[in-house]
Amino acid sequence: MRLSFLGTGTSHGVPVIGCRCPVCLSSDPRDRRWRTSLLVVDGPTMIVVDTGPEFRLQALAAGIDHLDAILLTHAHADHVHGLDDIRPLAWEKHLPVYGNAPTLAEVSERFSYAFREGVQAGGGKPRIELREAPASTFSIGTISVTPLPVLHGLLPILGYRFGDFAWLPDCSDIPPATMAKLGGTRVLAIDALRDRPHPTHQSIAGAIDVARAVGVQETWLIHMTHDHPHAWIEERCETLGSDVGARPAWDGLVVEALP
């Protein structure tokens, strides 16, 4: 199973519009971070986790030519506002879109034109079928998916586990029941907004503490803002998290996982 990190940045993306900080002006390509998203591929099955504002560009860069499903973590703009761009991937049938109940309710309101009869289609409407993610593990094609309920501040959202890989963007707290579901995870990709604490995100140290509690072998930090350059975060990870293989991820990173 191949997992491609389509984006690793926070809601503003990096560089940030109008910002002249050293990270936003950096020539290191790893400091250019599209909004956080993941592509999961196993044989013919392709799943995307979240469709942020750069989804069209991410799909072109990754060579996505079909999708079997979309998994949504939550309905914040940086995770869903590219949903309309799935139109070329869903001409012949509706594409299943999974999420928790609050996420699907927001999507149905924000993209109401996609579900309303009698609305002029223009260039086409996204043909999607909203499905509430089950509480237990389910399958999409050849891929086994385990939803992972976490908290993003006060907001209940979902991370996802695929075999021995877990994806946890936008999480400030992980309930004990979800920690139990993470048992046996080998590779963890987790929210690490910045070094300073934040009320709705993990810090770098907090993310590494979670990885250590889970007992993973490999940790990739995602959903990073422009506070720190990639090279600095690498050094920070060597100091704080070498025992869990902690490193900052970058757009285009590909890792492999066992089913």
Could you report the per-residue pLDDT of 94-126, keeping only the tens digit for each?
999 999 999 999 999 999 999 988 766 667 889
What's the pLDDT score for residue 21? 98
pLDDT at residue number 122? 67
Domain definitions of the chain by residue range: 2-136+144-256
Which pLDDT does position 120 carry in this prediction?
67
Judged against a pLDDT cut of 70, whether residue 13 lies above it is answered with yes
Query: Residue 5: how many CA atoms within 13 Å on its side-chain side?
Result: 31
More confident: 155 or 121: 155
Q: What is the mean pLDDT of residues 119-138?
A: 88
Q: Answer whether residue 50 shows pLDDT above 80.
A: yes
- Write down the CATH superfamily of domain 2-136+144-256: Ribonuclease Z/Hydroxyacylglutathione hydrolase-like (3.60.15.10)
As given in the structure block, the two tokens for residue 48 are 């995307």
Q: Provide the 10 A C-beta neighbour count for residue 226.
A: 22
Give mean pLDDT, residues 36-49: 98
Distance CA 219, CA 165 (A): 10
Q: Which residue has the higher pLDDT, 53 or 124?
A: 53
Average pLDDT taken over every residue of the chain: 96
- Over 90: is that where the pLDDT of 18 sits? yes
Q: Are 8 and 38 in contact (CB under 8 A)?
A: no
Instruction: Please state the rounded mean pLDDT for residues 49-64.
Output: 98
**What does the DSSP assignment read for the chain?**
-EEEEEE-B-TT-BSPTT--STTTT---GGG-BPBPEEEEEETTEEEEE---TTHHHHHHHHT----SEEE-S---HHHHTTGGGGGGG-SSSPEEEEE-HHHHHHHHHHTGGGT-TT---TT----EEEEEPPSS-EEETTEEEEEEEEEETTEEEEEEEETTEEEE-S-SB--HHHHHHTTT--EEEEE---SS--SSS--HHHHHHHHHHHT-SEEEEESB-TTS-HHHHHHHHHHH-GGGTEEE--TT-EEE---
How far is residue 57 from each of residues 34, 66, 120, measured CA to CA in Å? 9, 15, 26
Q: What is the pLDDT of residue 197?
A: 97
Question: How confident is residue 93, by pLDDT bands cut at 50, 70 and 90?
Answer: confident
Render pLDDT for 169-216 as a digit per residue (tens, 0 to 9): 999 999 999 999 999 999 999 999 999 999 999 999 999 999 999 999
